[in-house]
């Protein structure tokens, strides 16, 4: 069965998810937090997964990363670079995590360990997968920090997370994700905790870096306006099930499912008029180059 | 995923997360959660039993036939240096928990009367420290400013004190007077900062919550806000802290009485009974086992009850 | 950082000043006249007055207090003329009972108290922290439930009660340990160990239980942090995730707590020393209280306060060293 699926999917997909299900046992019986989810993602492409909190979008990302709690039951198939990751041992998945696939989380402050310098937190990610000296890893970290446009990386590398602003912390998280040049980046609400202007900078940075590295990206958000800006394809999820999927334009111009329409209507300044949608896009698109505002 | 229950309520509260952050928790739900745990039922049962024994000590003593100060020369054997007749420290139908060596006083009667002393001291000290702690903690946390400065310095000072040694020194220096009252006062002087510190931290965080701002906006005075918004939100914390204070004070009172600066003979207290048993521990182990076991089980029951209460309020609020 | 340190030193001085003032008020104002006690039963008013003058207790209260403080820093003399006895700094006065220098009495008892405290500390850190750690990692298992039940018992058992039970069972009944005493390590290390192991265990039991509960709670809190998820998302080996990312945040508060607890014990493990009859500072305090030997009680109280207050500062500095967030602010 699984073999058949493998055969039926072209090998050139970076990620192919088929019939993904995630089930948790609860005192009141098992609950499906994700059900019947299928999609493919190619290199250089961005897939937006949109839904309200509790729609199963974060569970999907954790399932791909293999980071679900032990009591979660995962069914279906996840093929990364053509090889199955569901039911693999944690030791094997660990070799993929941080190397072939990396993740950027929502709250950059709590996602960084306050007790260690950002330098250590970047280099440990690199050294987990590359057998290099401390010094070589530091050079990579400095490069990654420059890549995410942090000024004075030589100075900043030995500072602690609390000495960075929110946007800068998220840049550190991105640097951690990028240092091993992963094929797949999963960004789980990476801009939700940030100010609007900083949001725009981070989005632009991620888009640039993706273009540079050619990685595939899954962008998870509850914000359709953000998705319209970064993703070519969109999946809308509700209570663990995909309710609609298609190209971003399709979804925005002709939402088929009532839930999608509701989501679209929930965005303030946005109605069915595409002209206005463009205005919003103009608004959220960065007007200044990120490098100019890095000292925030 | 389940929320991780915090074992040490006090430790969690010091981190500044109000136990009862999301508004007053439904008391019914907490009771419902508590009633499902056998540990809670056992400990609550034992506490009730001890409380009843303490309250009705005079009646029980009439039943058992021996008062706490009555000497029963027939129960001890003068040839053996005053050891009780019979095995297990003289336990039998006549003396339910045996007798003291030499004097022959009935241990059950002394346990019951001792429980009265221990419990009333612990409960009084808890009430007094709670009152002082809540008043000063709210004043410091909610009103801030100079009041907060003074109260905080005072708390720092009292908590930096080597309190046990100082309590002993104080109690030994003070004139005899009414020992139980003195004990309550001394325990409270060193005890209130622990309550006040937690209350202060939580009032500070509640002060900045939206519902308090809303109350201000609708024209409530500061005092009204304290009584209508702040204190109701602290109820859970206060109840948990109280429950966990009682065993602390029982233990400290027993320790002080054990060291001979607490309740003075012939009044009985559990700690003092253990102290009296020290010279006899090798020949009449029941003499220290009985009060020791009562002390242990009482402290344990209060701690278990407080732990579960804190957990129940914690998770009740998280859902 | 330097100004912060100086501010802390100043607050130490203030606290110690108030501690000594309060102790002084209590002992020299509230308690019975020491001259009467020293004089004994066959006593004349003249003799009492003579002793009062010798002790300096005929002076006004504040004069007495500042003479006492002066004695600590510069030494002082008792009496006048040829009969004067000089007491070199730091002078805490002389015992009413034995006429020994209080300072010497405390210093001679300190090694025993330090041995008891240090041995117990090793035990409770080893057992308490590792039990709490294992409980947190294996949270919900039988090990966890068992260890936490044990710890619950541990914090509820008064240590004098454990002491009596252990002594009755191990020394009197089974006779596998000698009565606790304070022998020299150099003379017979095995006997030294056997003599101290019971006091150590009794003292460590309650602390170990407390530390186990605290460690478990801290580790569980840390395991739920977002940065733990980040660490796993990086593909770090599980042991490294635990060792580097979970342990340091969980154990830092324990280090500081330990500093305070240990310092508290240096001023004498009062109950443990008393119940086993070990001649440490705690037993000295208990004995002096029984005999109303005010200068000794005063000396021990001050010494204990000094340890606690200094430990407070050390712990704060240590915290600043261990937690980078505090370091930068200070």
C42 shares its domain with C173 = no
Q: Rounded mean pLDDT of A275-292?
A: 39
C329 in contact with chain A, both atoms CB, cutoff 8 A: no
Verify that C169 and C298 share a domain, yes or no.
yes
Q: Pick the most confident of A109-123, A270-284, C65-79, C279-293.
A: A109-123
Q: Are residues C210 and C67 in the same domain?
A: no
Least CB-CB distance to A99: which of C235, C245, C249? C235
List, for residues B272-300, the tens digit of each pLDDT value: 888 888 887 877 888 888 888 999 999 99
End-of-domain residue from the set C87, C114, C136: C87
From A119, A79, A128, A78, select the one nearest A99 (Cα to Cα): A128
- Residue C95, in any domain of the structure: no
Of B8, B43, B65, give the one whose Cα is nearest residue B305. B43
Chain C nearest C-alpha distance from A144 (Å): 15
What pLDDT score was predicted for residue B298?
Answer: 92
**pLDDT 10s digits, B13-22:** 333 444 444 4
Residue C254 sits in the same domain as residue C308: yes
| CATH dotted code for A15-283 | 3.40.50.300
Give yes or no for C224 touching A (CB within 8 A). Answer: no
Residues C188-199 have pLDDT tens digits of: 888 888 888 899
Give A21's strand partners: A75
- Return the SS3 of A40: strand
Q: In this predicted structure, what is the pLDDT of residue A157? A: 92
Which has the higher per-residue pLDDT, A264 or A32?
Answer: A32
pLDDT value of position B90:
64
Interchain proximity A124–C244, CB inside 8 Å:
yes
Closest Cβ opposite residue C230 in set A90, A99, A112:
A112
CB pair distance less than 8 Å for C290 and B12: no
Q: Which residue of C has its CA nearest to B14?
A: C253
Residue B72 CA to residue A248 CA, distance in Å, equals 95
- Mean pLDDT is lowest, of A203-217, A248-262, C44-58, C159-173, for C44-58
Sort A165 into a burial class: Cβ within 10 Å, 0-12 / 13-18 / 19+. Answer: middle
Q: Is the pLDDT of residue B78 over 60?
A: yes
pTM of the full predicted structure? 0.82
Is B173–C309 a contact, with Cβ atoms under 8 angstroms apart?
no
- Is residue C93 assigned to a domain? no
Which has the minimum average pLDDT: A22-36, A253-267, B14-28, B264-278? B14-28
Whether C257 and C294 map to the same domain: the answer is yes
Least Cα separation, residue A261 to chain C (angstroms): 33
| Chains contacting B (3 or more CB pairs within 8 Å) | C
pLDDT at res. A123: 92
If you average pLDDT over residues B8-12, what whole number do you get? 34
Q: What is the pLDDT of residues B100-129, one digit of tens each?
A: 777 767 778 788 888 888 889 999 999 999
Predicted local distance difference test score (pLDDT) of residue C13 = 86
Predicted pLDDT of residue A290: 34
Distance between B12 CA and the closest CA of chain C, angstroms = 9
Mean local confidence (pLDDT), A33-38: 89
Answer whether residue A242 shows pLDDT above 90. Answer: no
User: Is B165 within 8 Å of chain C by CB?
Assistant: yes
Instruction: Return residues 188-247 of C near B (CB < 8 Å).
Output: 213-214, 216-218, 220-221, 223-224
Q: Name the domain count of chain C.
A: 2
Interface of A with C (CB under 8 A): 65, 67, 90, 94-99, 102-103, 105, 107, 110-117, 121, 124-125, 128-129, 160, 162-163, 173, 176
For range A70-86, the mean pLDDT: 88
pLDDT at residue number C328: 55
Do residues A230 and A203 make contact, with C-beta atoms less than 8 angstroms apart? yes
Residues C257 and C128 in one domain: yes
B164 Cβ under 8 Å from any chain C Cβ: yes
What percent of chain B is predicted at pLDDT more than 70?
79
Question: Among C36, C61, C87, which residue terminates a domain?
Answer: C87
Residues C156 and C7 in one domain: no
Q: Predicted confidence band at B93 (pLDDT cuts at 50, 70, 90)?
A: low
Look up residue C285 and give its two tokens.
Answer: 């305090």
Q: Tell me whether C299 touches chain B (CB under 8 Å).
A: no
Contact A111 C237 (CB under 8 A): no
Mean pLDDT for B95-99 is 68
Contacts with C225 from chain A: Cβ below 8 Å? 110
Question: What does the pLDDT read at residue C71?
Answer: 82
Residue A94: which of C225, C229, C235 has the nearest Cβ?
C235
Instruction: Give the range of the structural domain holding residue C74, as residue numbers without chain letter.
Output: 2-87
CA distance C322 to chain A (A): 8
C270 interaction partners in chain B (CB closer than 8 Å): 164-165, 168, 259
pLDDT tens per residue across span B38-52: 888 898 899 999 888
Residues C33 and C177 in one domain: no
Partners of residue A95 in chain C, C-beta under 8 Å: 235
Cross-chain CB nearest to A114 (options C234, C237, C325)? C325
pLDDT at residue B207 above 70? Answer: yes
Q: Do C76 and C189 share a domain, yes or no?
A: no
CB contact (8 A) between residue C328 and residue A162: yes
pLDDT number for residue A278: 43
**Helix (H), strand (E) at residue A216:** strand A216-221
pLDDT, tens digit, for every residue of B161-185? 777 777 887 787 777 677 888 889 8
Q: Which of A62-66, A118-122, B64-68 has the lowest mean pLDDT?
A: B64-68
Instruction: Evaluate if residue B88 carries a pLDDT over 80.
Output: no
Same domain membership, residue C160 and residue C40? no
Say yes or no: C75 and C130 in one domain.
no
Contact assignment for A98 to C234 by CB distance below 8 Å: yes
Q: Which of residues C58, C87, C116 is at a domain's end? A: C87
Give the model's confidence band at B132: pLDDT under 50 very low, under 70 low, under 90 confident, else very high: very high
- Which among A77, A54, A39, A18 is positioned nearest to A186, based on CA atoms? A39
Inter-CA distances, A145 with A118, A139, A157, C254, C330, Å: 10, 10, 8, 35, 28
Nearest by CB to B165, from C157, C274, C300: name it. C300
The stretch B255-284 carries a mean pLDDT of 82
Flag whether C38 is in a domain.
yes
Q: Are residues C286 and C185 in the same domain?
A: yes
The rounded distance, in Å, linking the Cα atoms of C235 and C248 is 19
Q: What is the model's pLDDT at position A272?
A: 47
Residue A125 has pLDDT above 60, yes or no: yes
Residues 6+ apart with CB under 8 A from C161: B274, B288, B292, B295, B296
Which has the closest alpha carbon to A242: A10, A24, A30, A47? A47
Q: What is the reported pLDDT for A121?
A: 92
Sketch the domain layout of chain A as residue ranges. 15-283
Tell me if C51 is assigned to some domain: yes
User: Which of C139, C161, C309 is opposite residue B296, by nearest beta carbon?
Assistant: C161
Instruction: Name chain C contacts of A97, Cβ cutoff 8 Å.
Output: 232-235
pLDDT over 90 for what percent of chain B? Answer: 9
Among the ranges given (A42-46, B139-143, C88-92), the one the predictor scored with the smallest mean pLDDT = C88-92
Please indicate, yes or no, if residue C186 is contained in any of the structural domains: yes
What 3-state class would DSSP assign to A90?
helix
Regions in chain C scoring below 70 on pLDDT? 1, 28-32, 40-41, 79-84, 327-330
Q: CB-based burial of residue C274 (10 Å sphere; 0-12 exposed, 13-18 middle, 19+ buried)?
A: buried
pLDDT attached to residue B123: 92
CATH code of the domain covering residue C159: 1.10.3720.10
CA pseudo-torsion sign A239, A242, A247, A251: negative
Return the residue of B nearest to C11 by Cα. B157
């Amino acid at each position: 069965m699984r073999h058949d699926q493998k055969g039926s999917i072209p090998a050139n997909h970076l990620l192919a998810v088929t019939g993904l299900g995630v089930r948790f046992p609860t005192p009141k019986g098992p609950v499906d937090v994700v059900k019947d989810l299928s999609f493919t993602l190619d290199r250089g492409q961005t897939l937006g997964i949109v839904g309200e909190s509790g729609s199963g979008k974060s569970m999907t990302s954790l399932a791909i990363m293999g980071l679900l709690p032990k009591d979660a039951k995962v069914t279906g198939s996840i093929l990364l670079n053509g090889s199955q990751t569901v039911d693999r041992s944690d030791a094997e998945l660990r070799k993929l995590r941080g190397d072939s696939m990396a993740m950027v989380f929502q709250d950059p402050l709590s996602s960084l360990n306050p007790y260690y310098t950002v330098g250590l937190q970047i280099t440990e990610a690199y050294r987990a997968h590359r057998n290099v000296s401390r010094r070589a890893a530091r050079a990579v970290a400095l490069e990654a920090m420059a890549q995410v446009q942090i000024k004075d990386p030589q100075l900043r590398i030995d500072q602690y997370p609390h000495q960075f602003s929110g946007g800068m912390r998220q840049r550190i998280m991105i640097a951690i994700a990028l240092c091993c040049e992963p094929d797949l980046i999963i960004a789980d609400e990476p801009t939700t905790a940030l100010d609007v202007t900083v949001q725009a900078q981070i989005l632009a940075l991620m888009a640039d870096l993706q273009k540079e590295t050619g990685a595939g990206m899954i962008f998870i958000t509850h914000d359709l306006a953000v998705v319209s800006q970064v993703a070519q394809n969109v999946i809308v999820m509700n209570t663990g099930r995909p309710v609609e999927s298609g190209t971003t334009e399709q979804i925005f111009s002709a939402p088929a499912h009532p839930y999608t329409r509701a989501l679209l209507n929930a965005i303030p300044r946005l109605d069915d008029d595409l002209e206005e949608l463009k205005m919003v896009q103009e608004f959220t698109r960065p007007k200044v180059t990120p490098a100019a505002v890095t000292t925030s | 995923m389940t929320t991780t229950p915090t074992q040490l309520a006090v430790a969690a509260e010091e981190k500044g997360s109000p136990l009862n952050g999301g508004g007053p928790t439904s008391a019914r739900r907490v009771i419902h959660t508590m009633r499902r745990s056998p540990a809670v039922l056992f400990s609550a049962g034992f506490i009730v039993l001890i409380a009843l024994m303490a309250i009705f000590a005079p009646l029980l003593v009439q039943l058992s036939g021996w008062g706490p100060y009555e000497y029963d020369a027939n129960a001890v054997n003068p040839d053996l240096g005053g050891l009780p007749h019979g095995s297990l420290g003289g336990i039998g139908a006549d003396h339910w928990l045996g007798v003291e060596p030499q004097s022959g006083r009935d241990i059950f009667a002394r346990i019951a009367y001792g429980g009265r002393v221990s419990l009333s001291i612990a409960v009084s000290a808890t009430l007094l420290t709670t009152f002082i702690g809540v008043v000063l903690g709210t004043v410091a946390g909610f009103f801030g400013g100079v009041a907060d400065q003074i109260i905080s310095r005072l708390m720092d000072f009292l908590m930096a004190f080597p309190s046990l040694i100082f309590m002993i020194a104080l109690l030994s220096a003070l004139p005899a007077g009414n020992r139980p009252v003195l004990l309550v006062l001394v325990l409270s002087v060193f005890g209130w900062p622990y309550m006040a510190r937690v209350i202060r931290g939580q009032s500070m965080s509640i002060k900045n919550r939206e519902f308090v701002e809303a109350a201000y906006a609708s024209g409530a005075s500061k005092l009204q806000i304290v009584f209508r918004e702040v204190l109701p939100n602290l109820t859970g914390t206060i109840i948990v802290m109280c429950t966990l204070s009682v065993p602390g004070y029982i233990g400290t009172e027993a320790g002080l009485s054990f060291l001979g600066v607490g309740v003075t003979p012939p009044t009985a207290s559990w700690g003092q009974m253990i102290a009296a048993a020290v010279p006899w521990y090798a020949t009449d182990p029941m003499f220290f086992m009985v009060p020791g076991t009562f002390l242990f089980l009482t402290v344990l029951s209060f701690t278990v009850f407080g732990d579960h209460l804190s957990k129940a309020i914690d998770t009740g609020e998280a859902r | 950082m330097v100004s912060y340190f100086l501010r802390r030193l100043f607050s130490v001085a203030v606290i110690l000043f108030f501690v000594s003032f309060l102790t002084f008020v209590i002992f020299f104002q509230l308690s019975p006249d020491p001259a009467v006690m020293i004089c004994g039963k066959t006593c004349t008013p003249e003799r009492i007055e003579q002793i009062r003058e010798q002790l300096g207790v005929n002076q006004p209260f504040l004069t007495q207090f500042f003479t006492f403080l002066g004695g600590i820093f510069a030494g002082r003399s008792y009496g006048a003329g040829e009969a004067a006895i000089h007491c070199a700094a730091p002078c805490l006065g002389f015992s009413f009972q034995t006429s020994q220098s209080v300072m010497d009495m405390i210093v001679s008892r300190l090694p025993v108290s330090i041995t008891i405290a240090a041995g117990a500390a090793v035990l409770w850190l080893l057992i308490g922290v590792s039990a709490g750690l294992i409980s947190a990692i294996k949270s919900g298992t039988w090990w966890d439930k068992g260890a936490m039940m044990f710890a619950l018992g541990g914090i509820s058992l008064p240590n004098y009660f454990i002491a009596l039970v252990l002594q009755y069972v191990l020394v009197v009944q089974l006779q596998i340990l000698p009565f606790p005493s304070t022998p020299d390590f150099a003379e017979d290390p095995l006997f030294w160990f056997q003599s101290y192991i019971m006091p150590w265990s009794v003292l460590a039991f309650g602390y170990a239980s407390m530390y186990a509960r605290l460690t478990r709670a801290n580790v569980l809190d840390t395991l739920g942090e977002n940065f733990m998820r980040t660490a796993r998302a990086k593909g770090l080996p599980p042991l490294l995730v635990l060792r580097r990312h979970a342990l340091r945040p969980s154990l830092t508060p324990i280090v500081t707590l330990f500093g305070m607890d240990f310092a508290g014990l240096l001023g004498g493990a009062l109950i443990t020393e008393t119940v086993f009859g070990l001649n440490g500072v705690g037993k000295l305090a208990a004995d002096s209280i029984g005999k109303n030997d005010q200068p000794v009680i005063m000396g021990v109280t001050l010494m204990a306060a000094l340890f606690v207050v200094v430990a407070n500062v050390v712990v704060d500095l240590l915290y600043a060293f261990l937690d980078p967030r505090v370091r930068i602010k200070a």
